[in-house]
Structure 1
Amino acid sequence: MSQPYVPAQTPPTGQPSGLKDLFNGVGYLLRGIAWMMRHPAQWLFGLIPALIVLAGYVTGLVFLAFQIDDLAGWVTWFADDWSGTARTWARAVAGTAIYGASLFLAVLTFTAVTLLVGDPFYEAIAVRVEESQGGAPPEPDVPLLVQIGRAIKDAVLLGVIAVTFAVVFFLCGFLPVIGQTVVPLVAAVVSGYFLAGELTSVALERRGIRRTERFARLKANRPLAIGFGAATFLVFLIPLGAVLAMPGAVAGGTLLARERLAGPPQAREALVTPGDGGSAWND
């Protein structure tokens, strides 16, 4: 039997440091994974849509790996007349940049596609997480077709943004040293920010908070969002990490949304430390 929805108490005011919020964001991912460890049936339930989407993504990435030499040669047509060493170096950098950009695109869109495919699964998980923290808000009175349409629109928009960033990172990957050091770090930060937006969407949409307002709230808590999202991005890079950690990431995003993003706008900057237990925002 589900618990009644009980709004949380208003959190104490105060501005946490950016560094502390960065680690607090990582803490939300750990809390989400810990919640799943205590509820293994929910974890298995959440694996179903992730496995379905993974099969499609792996097929695409494997196919790309077999075609990478031809693609690298195509984008470095200007190096056809170069010496052997220079041409090989240029195509190796191009191949790395192409595959790196594709991996970035895959990780960023994997969450959106998985949430779209598995919406009923992750909606149920989010409700269970909220019930364990004091109660879930009532389901919004929005027709199912409207909800599906919004989800598709958000996924398409994220895909366009992801492609844009992937092209930028691909081109920056040709820069000596910077392309192999700074660019991957920036990619992780950017991916993390957008992943945080996707993983908190289930809980925030339930509260009637749409995409524009969602990202406005993430912007007001940028270090927190980046800490949570970048940690998720790194876990997703581990083989099978995206599948195994996806339910925990949804749980962590739900806790993050409930405790730090779902309160009144004027209270967004209030201090909440993950691990204190329960909710800390008015829902």
Structure 2
Amino acid sequence: MEGKETVFVVSDSVGETADLVVKAVATQFNGGFVEVKRNAFVADFADIDDVLVMAKDVPSIIAYTIVIPSLKEYLDKRAEEEGLATVDLLNPLMTAFSKTFNKNPKNQPKLMRQLDDSYFRKIEAIEFAVKYDDGRDPRGLLRADIVLIGVSRTSKTPLSMYLAHKGFKVANVPLVPEVAPPEELYQIPRSRCVGLIISPDKLNSIRKERLKNLGLTSEANYASFERILEELEYAEKIMKRIGCPVINVSNKAIEETADSILKILKR
């Protein structure tokens, strides 16, 4: 058997796990001497046979992460018949999981990839929510899964972040009588826009507390009933013009409001 020492990484998924483990081990042996060949998304016996043919031609090890029982059994059997060395990188730990935690594995490939995809979607959504918070860049409205609109202190930002952690790209726009809403707000489907309203009393209480925390007098125009009523009336006109669904957040926790928003989206 001639040729460069080779480790064939075989997986019924992407093969990243096995690839990393093999390279980590190889570094303990001055890793540059070994060639790593990844064979991903192995789906049937023919795919395994192809690897075995290549492995017979060089000094080799087959390191695999295969969770489909029939493929694993076939690889073990055929490799033994051909006198090839194999290492199952998952089964010892899966067996320990089963025995210790008394649970059965799903034996489904690509589950790790699904977790990774979910994680990166969440990170992307969080970055989106930060970038397009408080109407900073109207162009984000056209790319958002959800657009929240409402007067100041209707929990737009906390809701945006909460929904972002669930993987939704959320932008929000404050409605202020002196500032016309961006034109993009009228270009998005109304089903993707949600208006947030609140009772004047509740908003007055929240804004007074906000001013107190900032060290300002509670008599400021920001917390006056006259100003609050003006803002709420203006916001209601905008929401009616758009024709979007509206949620009263007066006595709702963030989680409750988010749940209502997601139900609206499903409809």
Measured against the shorter chain, the TM-score band is under 0.3
The TM-score, its normalising length taken from structure 1, stands at 0.25
The TM-score, its normalising length taken from structure 2, stands at 0.26
More helix by share: 1
In our comparison, the structure showing a higher alpha carbon Rg is 2
